[in-house]
Amino acid sequence: MGQKIIAIANQKGGVGKSTTAASIAAELALRGYETLIIDCDPQANATSHFLAPSDVGTSVAEVLVETDPREKIPIKAAIVTTEVEHLDIVPSKLKFAKFEKEPSIAITRLKTKLTTIRDIYDFVIIDTPPTLGQILTATLLASTHMLIPVAASPLAQDGLDDLLSTFDEIQASNPDLKIVGILCTLFDSRTSVAAETCRQLQDRYTDKVFDTIIHRTVKLEEAPAFHKPIQLYAPNTRGAQQYSEFVEEMIERLGMRQSKSKLRLASGEN
């Protein structure tokens, strides 16, 4: 099937980007796919879904910000096993913001490091910072797909064209990069603007927009405080169900109609 490396990107903050990264990584793992989530956002919000700050040792910062060229840290040194079976994480910390000041040659470093784990994981999910900077460029150069979460709120589409322009520029250097789609998030059914925003997205970007919509829920907002993805924190809630439905839709769009565990059962493997 080939490893899928999916960057979760939107330079506009507050769109549920890190929650989406953590939730789809957990859901893929629960479906039996060997999954790695890499937190490339210096705010470390995706990391907080799995680890307390005191549990973070070597991070993506040490792997990619090479203060001493003689000490190259392999990405495997930063991988931490999570509570979710089949899911590992490369955590982040605030010092990763220094990567923006690294020489431009550093933007290919993530792509190079990921080649060393190509045969280990089915999916690599990368959370990105809410900026159009060098970190985002590095993640898109290393990725096979980009997923764009967009909040169902006023001005939600601001900057989306800039992000798509950045995508086009990166694709010139990484022709394997594709847009897997646009996901409408933080939907509040109490407001008319939420439905209108999603409708506008569908009208403008047509088949790029996923059918699944992620509602704003208290449990999704609470989960990172307990260092758990929604699938472990509140598995029987709307948020968990909607991310499950979204992942089903996403893997079908990627040409992977079944979970890996179902594939094993279908082939008669134990």
Question: Judging by DSSP bridges, how do beta strands 87-90 and 178-187 pair with one another?
Answer: unpaired
27 vs 29: CA distance, rounded Å: 5
Give the pLDDT confidence of 154-207 residue by residue, as tens digits. 877 778 889 999 999 999 999 999 999 999 999 998 888 899 989 999 999 999
Give the pLDDT confidence of 197-225 residue by residue, as tens digits. 899 999 999 999 999 999 999 999 999 99
| Class for the domain spanning 4-266 | alpha beta
In the chain, where are the structural domains located?
Answer: 4-266
Question: How far, in whole angstroms, is CA 77 from its chain's centroid?
Answer: 21
Q: Take residue 45 and report the two structure tokens written for it.
A: 């919000």
202 CB-near residues (< 8 Å, 6+ apart): 209
149 vs 227: CA distance, rounded Å: 22
Task: Enter the pTM of the model.
Answer: 0.92
Which helix (H) or strand (E) is 223 found in, with range?
none
User: How many separate helices (H) and strands (E) can be counted in the chain?
Assistant: 10, 8
User: Quick one: average pLDDT of 240-258?
Assistant: 92
Q: How many CB atoms lie within 10 A of CB 266?
A: 9
**Is the Cβ–Cβ distance between 223 and 49 less than 8 Å?**
yes
Give the lowest-confidence range in 74-83, 84-93, 132-141, 249-258.
249-258
- Does residue 262 carry a pLDDT above 60? no
Q: Take residue 127 and report the two structure tokens written for it.
A: 């959370």
Whole-Å CA distances, 77 to 52, 71, 219, 238, 255: 18, 12, 32, 36, 32
